[in-house]
Structure 1
Amino acid sequence: MASAIEQLFAPPRRIAAEAVRQHVEQAAFLWAQRDSWSQEEPPDETVIGEIAQRVEVNLDGLRIAGAAAWPAAERQLDDFPDKGEFFVAGWMAIEQGDATRVDQVVAAAKQVDERRGLVGALAWHQPPKIGHLVRDWLVAPDPFKRYLAVGACLEHGVDPRQSLARLVNDPDAPTRAFALRLAGRLKRADLAREMASALEAEDDIVRLWAGWALAEIGTGDLARVELRKAAVAGGADALIALRAAIKAGPEKDVRAWMGGLMKSAATAPLAVRGIGMLGDRSILPWLIERMKEPHVAVPASAAFLELFPEAREDTKLYTVDPAELGRDFTKFFEDDVVIVAIPDRVEEWQALSRGRKI
């Protein structure tokens, strides 16, 4: 180990600019890819974990480069102000303890309303590293910072205690929705009244997460109508609403509701996907039949994976080319990029699995 004197007179560390640029680009790309995979229904935890390891390898390179990595990070952020690039810039600013950089990155993210990358950066660091930021931002006048702080608490499972009672009534809709989601995850039954009140909010996102939170604390009967309405309405959060509606129960009533959804071509995909959320593996023969119908093949494939996650290991069960399943599939999907199960192969897999008692 070099002495203090040797370190003092050592030549400055040389940084390979091209290598640093590649670390920035790869970390941004891989984290964004991981984030997208995490939003799949159901998510593939194995793939997510593998990508996380690759992200960490590139972040190690940025740790070594230190402040010398900023020119590459700034250029990347200027050229592509997306969630992956904000993740890298936010992570670096926090890692280096650079308060000025943190403020600059937050301001830039606010300007383009990009939130996921910064929440991801806060999530990647351990709570002691970000604690001072979260405490300050929870009471910040800027709703964007309050949102980030709630997001950090959500990612780390931290309870802001009394602050949460205020945040579930936040005047900013995204922050309020995020706070309701946190309250549900933490099973804060003491906030049930606030959750129920939020069902009357003007913003769809607030009503959705209020219902979700009520389902999480076991009082989903209050939110059943709102959750089912949100599920049928479609949109990015439809499956979140569907899962919460199923959890709200009761199961007999849920099955009857999904039976009604099956009667319409518009809502049948939702019902097929919901079947997989019930956890009943005996439904597989019925799902195999649905895999043969183009308009519900995708949700049937997803339901299959949810019920039988071990089937992910057998890649021969799926195809990204619907044309393999016939002319009707080609016509229905046209140029869409989808992953669908191959019914005959799934049936064979089921027969083989019976001997293994899956």
Structure 2
Amino acid sequence: MRQHVEQAAFLWAQRDTWSLEDPPDEAVIAEIGQRLEINLDGLRIVGSAAWPFVDRQLEDFPDKGEFFVAGWMAIEQGDAKRVESTIEAARQAEERRGLVGALSWHKPQKMGKLVRDWLGAHDALLRYLGVAACAAHDVDPKRLLGRLVRDPDADTRALSLRLAGRLKRTDLTQEMAAAMQAEDDAVRLWAGWALTELGYGDLARAELRKAATAGTPDALAALRAAVKAGPEKEVRAWLGGLMKSSDTAPVAVRGIGMLGDRSVLPWLIKQMRKPELATTAGAAFLELCAEARDDDDLFTTDPVALGPEFLHYFGDATPRMPMADKVMEWSMIGNRLPEGPGRDRL
């Protein structure tokens, strides 16, 4: 039982970390998910007998994986008191991600009543979890969403705006536009993202471009929305401007990979030779050429293999970096490079 508890926490945390990679490797995530499900099956079989191990683990390591297991167990067994105590523990530890993961893992029918109660709760954390559960399963809370996109809690409001955009709730366009004036950065970002999803990117371009260079955890989502907001000619000009500064050049390199234009491969390979741009160039490359992920020879985690410049820049860090020469060879063999000299600039 202890092994099932420990492995489930470890595997979910590992899976969640992989999901944050840029871009995420869906094959690896799926494989970890299968291994996780085996351990969850073990917990289903032993039932309540596993709680002493879950409690001890959560007390010793109150991290996202441990909260995932505790939350998953409480919902699986329909134990309202356990659900409540796990949420309170998460509140004290300021750890929401594991609970949201537990909500994502269960089917909507398993927690329908809980979520309905949470969406109308006075407690901001409960409202947030209710919206998170809806977002995880693309469930539309109908009229409640109109109130939630104006929620006084910034986190809940931002997540509700994101859900409204994902669900294409055109009836909430005015609320999204109003949220563009909010004080909270995340609220403005996700309001702009939602407007872009509904085809009103012109109302959000300035805010999204600002958020894309802010260096926050949501900056990548903002960049993708800014690229989507278009028009392409203006996006290319904006990215070209970002290339002029060392602070924003990585954003430009990553953004060009979102345009879906493989003719930029020669230019992208040039950026791979620069330590400060290598990792973002590699991510852009994988977005343009997803099939390259299956070739283990194109990337390395050893800066020594790329030369003294990379060793000096990265030191003991071991990010996954593309090997420009190998990528060039792979591109040529597969006839993926454009005819002629290619593009040397955005």
Report if TM-score (shorter chain) is over 0.5: yes
Q: Which moved more, 1:326-335 or 1:164-173?
A: 326-335
Q: How far apart, in 1, do the equivalents of 2:298 and 2:15 lie?
A: 23
- Find out whether 1:90 has 2:71 as its counterpart: yes
- Give 1:337 deviation, angstroms: 2.2
- Find out whether 1:115 has 2:100 as its counterpart: no
Q: How far apart, in 2, do the equivalents of 1:249 and 1:128 lie?
A: 39
Q: Which residue is 1:320 aligned to?
A: 301
Q: How far apart, in 1, do the equivalents of 2:104 and 2:274 lie?
A: 41
TM-score, structure 2 length as denominator?
Answer: 0.96
Q: Which residue is 1:212 aligned to?
A: 193
Q: SS of 2:22's equivalent? A: coil
How many pairs does the alignment contain? 338
Match of 1:275 among 232, 236, 256: 256
Counterparts of residues 143-154 of structure 1 (less than 5 Å): 143-154=124-135
Q: How far apart, in 2, do the equivalents of 1:352 and 1:272 lie?
A: 24
Q: Which residue is 1:177 aligned to?
A: 158
Contact 2:134 2:141 in 1 (8 A): yes
Contact 2:279 2:321 in 1 (8 A): yes
The amino acid across from 1:278 in the alignment is L
Query: RMSD over aligned Cα, in angstroms?
Result: 1.3
Q: Which residue is 1:311 aligned to?
A: 292
Gaps of 5+ in 2: 339-346
- Find out whether 1:351 has 2:317 as its counterpart: no
1:294-353 Cα distance to aligned partner (Å, 9 max, x none): 111110000001111111111110000112111111111112221110011111111121
- Give 1:356 deviation, angstroms: 12
The share of aligned pairs that are identical, in percent, is 67
Q: How far apart, in 2, do the equivalents of 1:284 and 1:327 lie?
A: 25
Cα gap change, 1:88 to 1:341, in 2 (>3 Å): same
1:168-221 Cα distance to aligned partner (Å, 9 max, x none): 000000000010010011011111111111111111111111111111111011
Cα gap change, 1:102 to 1:257, in 2 (>3 Å): same
Match of 1:67 among 32, 39, 48: 48
1:82-127 Cα distance to aligned partner (Å, 9 max, x none): 1110110000001111111011101111112211111111111111
- Find out whether 1:200 has 2:181 as its counterpart: yes
- Find out whether 1:262 has 2:243 as its counterpart: yes
Q: Which residue is 1:229 aligned to?
A: 210
Q: SS of 1:293's equivalent? A: coil
Q: Which residue is 1:245 aligned to?
A: 226
1:17-38 Cα distance to aligned partner (Å, 9 max, x none): xxx1111111011101111111
Q: How far apart, in 1, do the equivalents of 2:11 and 2:97 lie?
A: 14
Q: Which residue is 1:50 aligned to?
A: 31
- Find out whether 1:300 has 2:281 as its counterpart: yes
Q: Which residue is 2:315 aligned to?
A: 334
Match of 1:124 among 105, 118, 122: 105
Moved over 2 A (4+): none
Q: How far apart, in 2, do the equivalents of 1:298 and 1:356 lie?
A: 20
The amino acid across from 2:60 in the alignment is D
Greater radius of gyration (CA): 1
Match of 1:136 among 117, 128, 131: 117
Q: SS of 1:206's equivalent? A: helix
TM-score, structure 1 length as denominator?
Answer: 0.93
Q: How far apart, in 2, do the equivalents of 1:334 and 1:96 lie?
A: 48
Q: How far apart, in 1, do the equivalents of 2:14 and 2:121 lie?
A: 31
- Give 1:232 deviation, angstroms: 1.3
1:267-301 Cα distance to aligned partner (Å, 9 max, x none): 11100000111111111111111100111111000
Q: Which moved more, 1:165-174 or 1:233-242?
A: 233-242
Q: How far apart, in 1, do the equivalents of 2:184 and 2:10 lie?
A: 32
